[in-house]
Structure 1
Amino acid sequence: MTENDSRRDLRMPNDDEVFAEVTNMLGANRVKVRCADGVERTARIPGRMQKRIWIRENDIVLVEPWDWQDEKADISWRYEKSEADQLRREGHIQ
């Protein structure tokens, strides 16, 4: 199996979303993330993801920064480890 055979079409960020890495679990459905734009934000795990998708430290996620409070954001997507590795290979994230 070549590298192109394993390539998947991944969800890419919309205009108002950025890639981020979870750096710290804060509890109460909150995590600390380091965004691709260089800003550390406190991100909220929305109710629709709380029990279905487990988010851990070092996970790659998509966050949607709040436009009225830049140091906060909402998590909109979590990438699997293989998907995160593909994003790194393709140069989307470091």
Structure 2
Amino acid sequence: MSNDDLPEGIRAPEDDELFAEVVEMLGANRVTVRCADGEERTARIPGRMRKRDWIREGDLVLVSPWDWQDEKADIEHRYENREAEQLREGGYVTETDI
């Protein structure tokens, strides 16, 4: 998917990134996410996002799965509520995906 496909100003996933929904807060900067490929992964919130982007259950995020351990991932971006609604309404993310 390229940036041309998405509404203006919304970040598109790169080659190794997936849409995911935060399912559970685990503490210690870790969350459980349900990814668009059907897998549930433990994702970590990087230091650059900890205080700037508050992540809550139900948020739509972009994750980058680890190459060496598929059940884990890093959160790359959190979508604002308005952006998440636009993605769902436009059919870019469906409830069956995540």
TM-score by length of 1: 0.91
Task: From the two aligned structures, give the one with the greater helix fraction.
Answer: 1
Q: Does residue 27 of the first structure (1) align with residue 23 of the second (2)? A: no
Aligned to 1:69: 69
Q: Secondary structure at the match of 1:37?
A: coil
Equivalences for residues 1-94 of structure 1 within 5 A: 8-94=8-94
Q: Distance in 2 between matches of 1:58 and 1:23?
A: 6
Unaligned runs of 5+ in 1: 1-6
Whole-angstrom distance in 2 between the partners of 1:8 and 1:27 = 34
- Look up the SS of the partner of 2:8 in the other structure: coil
Cα displacement (A) at 1:89: 1.2
* Structure 1 CA distance for aligned equivalents of residues 92 and 69 of structure 2: 26
Q: Deviation of residue 90 (structure 1)?
A: 1.2
1:36-61 per-residue CA deviation (whole Å, 9 max, x = no partner) reads: 01000000000000111100000000
3-state SS of paired residue (1:85): helix
1:9 to partner: Cα distance: 2.6
Q: CA deviation at 1:8?
A: 3.4
Based on CA coordinates, which of the two structures has the bigger radius of gyration?
A: 1
Instruction: Note the residue ranges of structure 2 that are not aligned, 5 or more in a row.
Output: 1-6
The alignment yields a C-alpha RMSD, in angstroms, of: 0.8
